[in-house]
Structure 1
Amino acid sequence: MIIDTSAVVAIMRRETDWVHFERAIDESFERFMSASSVLELSIVLRGAADPEIDNFIETMNIEILDVDSSHLRWARHANRAYGRHSGSPAKLNFGDCLVYGAAMSTGKPLLFKGDDFGHTDVPSVL
């Protein structure tokens, strides 16, 4: 699976549904995050130190994926089809487009919180 920033934020902030995301990660044999999502996590969780984020990634056995040209092609597609100015109800932002690219280029489902990706064609873990 590809893990979106939103799922990790839910876990680390202990949001009401955090347990569903942690369980999904625990039950998956393949756990990946885009390097762009890890940076986004550092930005979103300003109160959390990078070592805390790195510890979470290591503890959960999450492999960090480099953003490559295949991710970029899919991210561009996501922006055209589902981006904020596309007219799609998904309204994906920059980071969303990159994680969409990671999921689509690897053929792995996406673990995410919210309804933005639900308006796209990316396979969902939950």
Structure 2
Amino acid sequence: MIVDASALIAIARNEPAAPAIADVLRSGAILLMSAPTHVETFLVADRHPNPTVSRHVETLIKAARIQIEPVTAEQAAIARRAYQLFGKGSGHRAALDFGDCFSYALAVDKDEPLLFVGDDFTHTDVLVAAY
């Protein structure tokens, strides 16, 4: 299963989806995150006014044993295509940002469901992780 930044941020901010997302992270599934998405996660967490959000995200990544995956050339090509099709400024309802495109690319490349919060990815062809 691929983990998007939005899933970890939802837990760290105690958003309504947090308990269900936490259950998925504890499910024992192999969890992967693209390296650029990992950076994006901390860009969001670090700018939160509460400094514990960033520490909470770091703890979540370690506790869930989320593996940070380097970007392959194939994934880079998929991410670029995702931005062309679904990216902000494309006019598509998904309006994926830079980090989203790498979550999408890893999920497509690995043929794994994507764990996320929000509706942006629901407007793409990516497999969706249930929670």
Taking structure 1 as the reference length, the TM-score comes to: 0.91
Partner SS state of residue 58, structure 1: helix
Residues matched between the structures, number = 126
Task: Tell me, in whole angstroms, the C-alpha distance in 2 between the residues paired with 1:66 and 1:51.
Answer: 23
Which residue of 2 is the match for residue 77 of structure 1?
Answer: 81
Report the CA distance shift for 1:76/1:23 in structure 2 as closer, same or farther (over 3 A): same
Residues 88, 95 of structure 2: 8 Å contact kept? yes
2:118 matches 1:121: no
Which residue of 2 is the match for residue 40 of structure 1?
Answer: 40
Tell me how far 1:103 sits from its aligned partner.
0.8
Which residue of 1 is the match for residue 12 of structure 2?
Answer: 12
Residues 75, 106 of structure 2: 8 Å contact kept? yes
AA at the equivalent of 1:13: R
Tell me how far 1:54 sits from its aligned partner.
3.1
Identity %: 35
Which residue of 2 is the match for residue 55 of structure 1?
Answer: 59
Residues 42, 48 of structure 1: 8 Å contact kept? no
Instruction: Pick one of 110, 113, 117 that aligns with 1:109.
Output: 113
Q: What's the C-alpha RMSD, in Å, of the aligned pairs?
A: 1.5
Which residue of 1 is the match for residue 103 of structure 2?
Answer: 99
User: 5+ residue gaps in structure 1?
Assistant: none
AA at the equivalent of 2:83: N
AA at the equivalent of 1:70: E
Structure 1's consecutive aligned runs of 4 or more residues displaced over 6 angstroms after TM superposition are none
